[in-house]
Structure 1
Amino acid sequence: MKTIIDTTMRLTEHFTLGEMCYSATAEAKQIPNVPLKQHITALRNLCERCLEPVRCQLGLPIKVNSGYRCPLLNQMVGGVSTSQHLKGEAADITIPRSHRPFGHPTDEQAARLILKYAEQFADFDQLILEHSATTWWIHISCRINYRLNRHQVIR
């Protein structure tokens, strides 16, 4: 039996459950990346406390590259066993190339712009400036018990 989630469910004004659970890797490898109720609650918290405030202050769309990950998906993408993605408490984000403001055309510049806004406007646990050989993004997390957020920035 295939489990179905309502991918159109709005977590906040600008973020849906579908985009917080979408994974090209999961799709390609046919991994059901389906969150439980507690993961959806954590994703809503992440969107309300972090993604939505950053998006509104920035005034630009934010692309979620990776949000919730089931254990198998997390393993497939090389995530650590303690990843906050497993709990629905983290997302890897960037500004879509088509919406980048003048003066911020590269992935690194876009990631650093998000980092600047997130430090000021998000109630985050961790902000991590991450990159691969070809792209840059921001890992942003918020604990479900947000009073325990560490406000840790790792560049």
Structure 2
Amino acid sequence: MNTPNLIVAATVAAAEAVTPVKAKEKASHFTITELTRSTTARRQGIDNTPPEQAVKNLHRLIDTVLDPARELFGAPIYVNSGYRCRELNRAVGGAARSYHMSGRAADLNTGSTEGNKRLYEILKTLPHTELIWERGGTWIHVAY
């Protein structure tokens, strides 16, 4: 008689039955596609596909800065620029050591100066390496 195996099997089955199902992860307000899209790249035929590490960095930027900012802002935030390959960064006149090239930065706007002012104040409270907004400017640069 092999009852120990039956008891173990029953115990495992019982444990699996009471193991909570992991809640579905909250959907992001931002996508990797949105953070890599570029009209300049499309117009000039530049492949702006990010390498694996840049994609990981973009996910961290989304999780740590962009999604929390969107939740606090309570309205859409638009991405002007996210990841840029070296060639695209040169084409748009980006800084030689831009955080955009590693997927750690985004240029954002809300569609209004007042909205940008509010977003800037929100971003100041979140983790960041760089935060740049020229008062009245149409975009805010944030790097993490």
Summarize deviations over 1:37-62 as a string: whole Å, max 9, x none: 00000000111111000000111111
Matched, 1:40 2:44: no
Residue matched to 1:136? 138
Distance in 1, Cα, partners of 2:118 & 2:57: 25
Matched, 1:29 2:53: no
Which structure has the greater CA radius of gyration?
2
Summarize deviations over 1:83-115 as a string: whole Å, max 9, x none: 0000000000011x3xxxxxxxx3x32221110
**Which runs of structure 2 are paired with 1:1-155 in the superposition (5 Å)?**
13-95=28-110, 97=111, 106=112, 108-120=113-125, 122-130=126-134, 136-142=138-144
Uncovered stretches (5+) of structure 1, i.e. residues with no partner: 1-11, 98-105, 143-155
Distance in 2, Cα, partners of 1:109 & 1:31: 34
Distance in 1, Cα, partners of 2:39 & 2:135: 18
AA partner of residue 60 (structure 2): N
AA partner of residue 124 (structure 1): H
Answer yes or no: is the 8 Å Cα contact 1:91–1:139 preserved in 2. yes
Deviation at 1:125, TM superposition (A): 1.0
Distance in 2, Cα, partners of 1:35 & 1:130: 28
Higher strand share: 1
Uncovered stretches (5+) of structure 2, i.e. residues with no partner: 1-26
AA partner of residue 31 (structure 1): I
Secondary structure of the equivalent of 1:69?
Answer: coil
AA partner of residue 30 (structure 1): G
Secondary structure of the equivalent of 1:136?
Answer: coil
Quote the RMSD (CA, aligned, Å). Answer: 1.6
Instruction: Point out 4+ residue stretches in structure 1 off by more than 2 angstroms.
Output: none
Distance in 2, Cα, partners of 1:13 & 1:42: 15
Residue matched to 1:100? none
Distance in 2, Cα, partners of 1:16 & 1:92: 14
Answer yes or no: is the 8 Å Cα contact 1:131–1:137 preserved in 2. no
